Amino acid sequence: MHDVTDPNTWGPAIDEAVNTVSRGGLLVLPTDTVYGIGADAFDAEAVAALLAAKGRGRQMPPPVLIPDVRTLDGLATEVPDDARKLAEAFWPGGLTIIVQAQPSLQWDLGETHGTVALRMPDHPAALALLRRTGPLAVSSANATGNPAALEVADAQAQLGDAVTVYLDGGDAPGGVASTIVDATGEQLRVVRQGAITLEALNDVAPVRGVDEPVEEPATETTAETAAETADASTEPADESTPARTEEQSSAPAEESAG
């Protein structure tokens, strides 16, 4: 277990975490919501190991945490202007946006139906790590069905030796899951209410609420299939007709997650 509460001393811990990710290992990291379990988003075996550690299948793919708003265009295509406005307004922070994934990307997050749930966490240690590793697949650091971990010791008790490196950032500052907005259909819509209120979203761009009918059905998305994904926020979050993302459901505390 490595302390990452102080930027002046966390260098060796971040180094080890980066090395772990490069070797296909799993790590637990703090975020602004709950603790997350992460892996290289472009390493299919590592992502599969992440899902196995949580006791979850490919039908519940993890969201992806990113270090910068500009990464959005590298991972997504056909991003609506209103979704960009939301990202610029609420990233880093408790907002996950489901978008169409770039078809050329060599990754396998699970049954995503061509979408990906993205979030930029508002946590200094998480961002320091992400700037060096690039995008990480991140789910809440807990066994599926259990509450999201708010302390690194709780994550370690649930995940044990499946994780190579545990980064201790102290008590998770969150407790509320990220809000998830589906930007893959004709209209932006909330598929999980969380840290960012619908009112705050609509101050930036028009977004339909969870219970508001959509005029046209949206494409299948990573987040709708499940209600269990927690974003490290996700939870980091557990997550209909599409495949859910972690960020969507488990989150009693939380996304995601990534």
For residue 59, name the pLDDT band (cuts at 50, 70, 90): confident
For residue 224, name the pLDDT band (cuts at 50, 70, 90): very low
pLDDT tens for each residue of 60-102: 899 999 999 999 999 999 999 999 999 999 999 999 999 999 9
Q: How many helices (H) and strands (E) does the chain have?
A: 7, 13
Which secondary-structure segment (H or E) carries 53?
A: helix 44-54
Which residues are within 8 A (CB) of 170 and not within 5 positions of it... i.e. 6 or more apart?
5, 30
For residue 239, name the pLDDT band (cuts at 50, 70, 90): very low
Give me the sign of the Cα torsion angle 197, 205, 239, 23.
Answer: negative
Give me the sign of the Cα torsion angle 87, 42, 152, 231.
Answer: positive
Domains and their CATH numbers in the chain: 2-238 (3.90.870.10)
For residue 220, name the pLDDT band (cuts at 50, 70, 90): very low
pLDDT higher at 245 or 140: 140
Find, among 30, 36, 33, 37, the residue nearest to 175 by Cα: 33
What pLDDT shows up at residue 251?
A: 34
Q: Please give the sequence-ordered ranges of beta strands (E in DSSP) within 88-204, or none if there are none.
A: 95-101, 115-119, 136-140, 165-168, 179-182, 189-192
